[in-house]
Amino acid sequence: MADRIGHRHANSVSSRQRRKSSNSFSCFFTLRHHNLQMAEAKRKARFKHDMRIKPDQPKKVEPDEKLRPCARPGCEGEGNFKVTRSRERLGEYIWLCLDHAREHNESWDFFRGMDEKDIESFRNEAITGHRPTWPLGKRAARMQNPFGRTFGVQDGYGTFEKDADSTPQPRRPERTLTRLQVQALDTLHLAPNATLIEIKARYKELVKRFHPDANGGDRGAEERLKQVIKAYGVLRASGLT
């Protein structure tokens, strides 16, 4: 009798364990699916757009096409090399193939047609970047000493005495200038009280200096000439006397 009861109890325990294991197993999958749904809902609620990075789409390979033909008449090559058209037209460019670009560069002579004087002048101006220069001391500020004092300096050359005895030059009346007028005078390297005659004289001087024919078509000189012409136009329209 005891064996029979013990056998029934063992069967009952085994049956409960199987049911519990089955329920736990099915519940495990249910919870896992529920968690995925919650995570997906949180992700959609947090971001309005899909933030995931998509793989790059394969690009369509286009057949090779000629960019531009060579500018040399009769040449069927591709113009892949940019060269300056000529010394007189430095701002214009043409496209040549490799062989014609080499030929163009080998035959290029910037100083062709210039005499020795023009070449020497160009080289001297190139030292200062083709910027206007003046002889040393021509535009230097002079020290004024109205009281004839030497301030403890040994004046071996009589500089202070000369300034003290010299008659002061009459000063030109001050004028009110706009910002554009001040910039224009600075471009022409003139004082704020420069007269119209001085402005015209400096304009002619700078135009002659920065003219493309006098600089072999240098781009820097060409740009400087544009600034000079613009500055002169501003001052001329201002009605300065």
Listed in sequence order, the DSSP H helices in the chain are: 2-46, 98-106, 116-127, 159-165, 179-187, 196-210, 212-215, 219-237
Q: Residue 219: which residues within 8 A CB-CB, separation 6 or more?
A: 90, 91
* Residues in the chain, pLDDT under 50: 2, 6, 22-29, 31, 140-151, 163-164
For 160-186, how does the pLDDT look when each residue is reduced to its tens digit (9 = 90+)?
555 445 555 666 556 677 888 888 888
CB neighbours of 175 closer than 8 A, spacing ≥ 6? 192, 193, 240
Mean pLDDT score of the chain, rounded to an integer? 70
Query: What confidence tens digit (pLDDT) does each residue in 178-212 have?
Result: 888 888 888 888 888 888 888 888 888 888 888 87
- For 178, the token pair is 């706009």
Convert 176-191 to b/e letters by CB count within 10 Å (16 or more is b).
Answer: ebeeebeebbebbebe
Whether this prediction's pTM lies above 0.75 is answered by no
Q: How many Å apart are CA 231 and CA 106, to the nearest integer? A: 39
